[in-house]
Amino acid sequence: MYSKKVMEHFLNPRNMGKIDDPDGVGVAGNPVCGDTMTIYIKVKNNRIVDIKFQTFGCAAAIATSSMITELAKGKTIEEAEKITRDNVAFSSAHIIPEYDKCGRLHGHTYAIHAKIYGEVEENGIIVDFRFVKDVLKRIADELDHKILIPAKSHMVRIDGRNVKLSNGKKDYVFPIEDCAILPLKSSSAENLANYVMDKLIENLKDCENIVEIEVGVDEGFGQGARVRKKLK
């Protein structure tokens, strides 16, 4: 059984196609089932500015190709090489009314990163990576395919059934079930990183050996924000 995210990428794949004059081409395949994926990239100043894929395979192969290209777009070659199946990502839409370019409804495929600093315990670890990833994935799932609403913004009104956001020039009305209501003044990457940080700390409150946490939220195309918080 496929997850909702996999099915969405299968039914609406991103970046499908071919680049006629690519700067790089990669081919990968599964010798067991015969699936084959070809990825084409355009690179400028060591950054992936465009990426396309062609896949001959099942739903999982198409969805995986779509997701990996979304994660890689905008990253440097070195950053793209570090993408693994454990990357935590979500796709959402938002508006930042205070900025003209971001003041209209638009979306991102976000990626969440975390670094944990602390004292190594007798079992040889600071904290179980799997637990941290599970927490981050739960946070991402709550935001995935939602409109991010900063509930503390003076431009937002919630009437129980709908969310209204007015920027002085436009009025947006969204069904509340399509929204992620966040205790923020804006849904910038910086504020989202702080939101993820607070949720992560809440889940790690029993880990007394942790002294500092860093959380990053990337919007793609090399854009993102990092926050750090000392716990001791």
- Give the DSSP per-residue string, 196-213: HHHHHHHHTTT-TTEEEE
Q: What is the pLDDT of residue 163?
A: 95
Report the C-alpha gap between 214 and 108 in whole angstroms.
21
Q: What is the pLDDT of residue 198?
A: 96
Q: Which of 75-79, 123-127, 145-149 has the highest mean pLDDT?
A: 145-149
The dihedral built from the CA positions of residue 166, 167, 170 and 176, taken in this order, carries a sign that is negative
Q: What is the pLDDT of residue 150?
A: 95
Is 142 labeled as catalytic in the residue annotation?
no
Question: What CATH number belongs to 4-81?
Answer: 3.90.1010.10
pLDDT tens digits, one per residue of 72-81 = 888 888 878 7
Specify the range with the lowest mean pLDDT, choosing from 63-72, 119-128, 142-151, 201-210.
63-72
Is 70 labeled as catalytic in the residue annotation?
no
Q: What is the pLDDT of residue 90?
A: 86
Show me where the domains of the chain are located.
4-81, 88-230
Is 219 labeled as catalytic in the residue annotation?
yes
**Same fold: 4-81 with 88-230:** no
Q: Which of 9, 94, 179, 219 is catalytic?
A: 219
Higher pLDDT among residues 79 and 161, named by residue: 161
Name 76's bridge partners. Answer: 47
Q: How confident is the model at residue 223 (pLDDT cuts 50, 70, 90)?
A: confident
Q: Which of 79, 113, 145, 190 is catalytic?
A: 145
**Reported pTM:** 0.66
DSSP symbols for 118-180: E---TTS-SS-HHHHHHHHHHHHHHHTTSEEEETTSTTEEE-SSEEEEE-SS-EEEEEGGGEE
Q: How confident is the model at residue 185 (pLDDT cuts 50, 70, 90)?
A: very high
Q: What is the pLDDT of residue 2?
A: 53
Average pLDDT for 101-109? 77
Q: Which of 8, 102, 113, 207 is catalytic?
A: 102
Asked if residue 99 has pLDDT above 80, the reply is: no
Q: What is the pLDDT of residue 58?
A: 78
Q: What is the pLDDT of residue 218?
A: 87
Dihedral, CA of residue 216, residue 219, residue 221 and residue 227, to nearest 10 = -20
Fold entry, domain 88-230: Tetrahydropterin Synthase; Chain A (3.30.479)
Kindly report the average pLDDT of the chain as a whole number: 86
